[in-house]
A and B are shown apart, each in its own frame.
Chain A
Amino acid sequence: MTGSDSSMIPFMAEIVASTPLSADTSLFRLRLDQGIADYLPGQFFQLSVPAGGEFPVSPASAADGGGELEFCVRRVGQVTSHLHSLGPGGRVGLRGPFGNGFPVAEMAGAQILLLAGGLGIAPLRSLLHYILREPERYASVTLMYGAREPAAMLFRDELVALARQERFRLLLTVDFVRDEPVDGRVCTVGLLPALLRGVKVEPAATWAAICGPPPLYACLVAELASLGFADERIFISLERRMKCGVGHCCHCALGQLLCCSDGPVFRYSAIKGITGAI
């Protein structure tokens, strides 16, 4: 689409690595044919596979001035299945970045509480990497990450390694464990909201960022409210079926707002009144 910019014409990229993270989820590292991958944590791209179509997805990496970026993708629908069938050397298209991303400038200087459920770890990993690049700019970072079961926990080894840093506190939990022993697993068993209840935070000096499956938002927001978090200090990254990415096609409307252009990161205070937003 000839436009006032190139938001509609995809730029091509090559898969340089695909790493399975769980039974159905892999990390795809892409290298752009040309240029630098510039984006903020929480922004999203439209990723396309030739003959497959597009899907909206936030990078799991933080922009590092180079031409590579990572996407954590679950094999769940038509295009993602197509992507999963490609290995290194596979060609994909990207449009974007779209949307606002996390307000990283505003978050500097404060304590950061990242709350991730399941695949919601992807955009928060981007934010975590961004923060840990200059950790001295933040008072502290806590990541609380809940997965369905140990085998579904993504990036566990990487996160555990990162947690050796002084300013980064990591709390992992799983909803349940099966019969097999969970030897050496650094995690607790229980739901994320329950884990949050037992953690010491200073709500007035902390920014919370949430990303996870839809049922998780309301529970976590309620927990944060009971801990004393103001609605303005909670950021939620929402998932909608963005199609055009530029605020025209109406697929991602949340009441008056559009997830693609007003979000996908929303301050809870901005979406609190919209029934069905979370």
Chain B
Amino acid sequence: MPNTITENNLRLLIDALVAEGTRVVGPKQADAMTLYEPLSSGAELVLGALPRRSAKEAFFPLCEDILSYEKKEGKMTVEDIDLSRLPDTVLMGALPCDAAAPGILDAVFSWDYNDEFFLTRRKRTTIIGMACTKGDDACFCTAVGYSPAESRGSDLFLIPLEGGKLRCQVITDKGNLLLEKHKPLFSDEEGGTALPLAKPEMEKLDLAKIRGWLEKNFESDFWKEIAQRCVGCGACAFICPACHCFDISDEGSEGKGKRRKHWDACGFGKFTNHASGHNPRDVQPQRYRNRIMHKFKYYDDKFGQTLCTGCGRCVRACPVGIDIASIVEEINNKG
């Protein structure tokens, strides 16, 4: 049975969720840009936008405390973080490239050691994805196996229709649970024709062929050609839905403080630097190579998935115009 929801009811759904204490994160106008941020009401939801940053912050915040320490009566005590306080969350209106990414990251955050911060947020979050009508010329989801209509990673998936309604597909039990709970907001009408979706121009790349070329070309002048101009600003990593490297640092005094986990970027010059001065990746092309290798080879070799959903954000953000889509396309053509 089809389920449709009007745009107004979608906003009412957000209001209802917020009223019951659920954290709702969705595209919201934040000054000049749209960002995935906690919504205080349905009216704040911005439909049909390309949020500047990805939605990974809903699962993996830019910075979070992982423990605290305090010296009491001469004795140091270490306090764990109480994860039971993490809220039930709905990620509303995630673009297919953003909805797919957390599922890719499940692999690394549970392969050897369970990162309960990430995994608890995953468990408590329902993702309502939305077909993409907004793509721009930086988008390349189609090149890496996704599409504007891709529902992978979503629990419920919305397809915008002519006339302002949205068709809602149930993808998982978790999604079904949410839909059933708020059933009166949905109707079983067909609702009309789907709006035209974004049309990224790139055709699907042969990711196995790309892996093959990367395997053979760790040493190649290609890396210098494409990345000599990389300034190592890290914007690409911070804005990426799938980049997940982080640093750990202590903040506070000898008597009291916190240990925090915060995003890092393999493009930073000091990412691998040792206190001794030895730096295993001491020039920028080596760092950029690591970025490409990790996304298109290492992660796939280890976990069977590409660490890129083709959202195009790094292409939009790069201050020196490095275009990862054309780089992997070039590798595809070389391979």
What is the interface of chain A, defined by CB distance below 8 A to chain B? 1-5, 7-10, 12, 48, 50-55, 74, 76-80, 91, 93, 213-214, 239-241, 243-244, 246-256, 261, 274-276
Other-chain contact of A246, B69, B113, B302 (Cβ < 8 Å) = B113
B290 is an interface residue with CB less than 8 A from chain A: yes
Instruction: Chain A residues near B76: list those with CB within 8 A.
Output: 12, 50, 91, 93
Given the complex of chains A and B, what is the CA–CA distance between A5 and B115 in angstroms? 10
Instruction: Chain B residues near A74: list those with CB within 8 A.
Output: 276
With A9-B80, A213-B278, A248-B246 already in contact, the answer to whether A50 and B71 are too (CB < 8 A) is yes
The proximity string for B residues 143-177 relative to A, scoring 1 for CB distances below 8 Å and 0 otherwise, is 00000000000000000000000000000000000
Number of B residues near A (Cβ < 8 Å) is: 52
Q: Please tell me if the beta carbons of A4 and B113 are within 8 angstroms of each other in the complex.
A: yes
Given the complex of chains A and B, what is the CA–CA distance between A127 and B248 in angstroms? 29
With A241-B273, A250-B245 already in contact, the answer to whether A2 and B111 are too (CB < 8 A) is no
Question: Nearest A residue to B253 by beta-carbon distance?
Answer: A51
Q: Please tell me if the beta carbons of B81 and A2 are within 8 angstroms of each other in the complex.
A: yes
11 contacts between A and B (CB under 8 A): A10-B78, A50-B71, A213-B276, A240-B274, A243-B248, A244-B246, A247-B108, A247-B111, A248-B115, A256-B297, A261-B112
Q: Please tell me if the beta carbons of B254 and A51 are within 8 angstroms of each other in the complex.
A: yes
Q: Please tell me if the beta carbons of B114 and A4 are within 8 angstroms of each other in the complex.
A: yes
B244 is an interface residue with CB less than 8 A from chain A: yes
Instruction: Chain A residues near B218: list those with CB within 8 A.
Output: 255, 274-275
Other-chain contact of A250, B66, B111, B244 (Cβ < 8 Å) = B244
Q: Please tell me if the beta carbons of A5 and B298 are within 8 angstroms of each other in the complex.
A: no
Instruction: Chain A residues near B280: list those with CB within 8 A.
Output: 214, 240, 254, 276
With A3-B116, A8-B67, A240-B280 already in contact, the answer to whether A51 and B275 are too (CB < 8 A) is no
- Stretch in B1-9, B91-99, B264-272, B318-326 touching the partner: B264-272
Instruction: Chain B residues near A255: list those with CB within 8 A.
Output: 218, 293, 298
Other-chain contact of A93, B78, B112, B294 (Cβ < 8 Å) = B78
List which B71-85 residues lie within 8 A (CB) of chain A: 71, 76, 78, 80-81, 83
Q: Please tell me if the beta carbons of A2 and B80 are within 8 angstroms of each other in the complex.
A: yes
Q: Please tell me if the beta carbons of A7 and B113 are within 8 angstroms of each other in the complex.
A: yes
Q: Please tell me if the beta carbons of A249 and B66 are within 8 angstroms of each other in the complex.
A: no
B193 is an interface residue with CB less than 8 A from chain A: no
Q: Please tell me if the beta carbons of A3 and B115 are within 8 angstroms of each other in the complex.
A: yes
Known: A53-B250, A253-B266. 17 other contacts (CB 8 A): A1-B117, A12-B76, A48-B250, A50-B253, A50-B254, A50-B255, A51-B253, A91-B76, A240-B274, A241-B272, A244-B248, A248-B109, A248-B246, A249-B248, A250-B245, A251-B264, A276-B281
The proximity string for B residues 105-135 relative to A, scoring 1 for CB distances below 8 Å and 0 otherwise, is 0001101111111000000000000000000
Instruction: Return A242 CB to nearest CB of chain B, in Å.
Output: 10
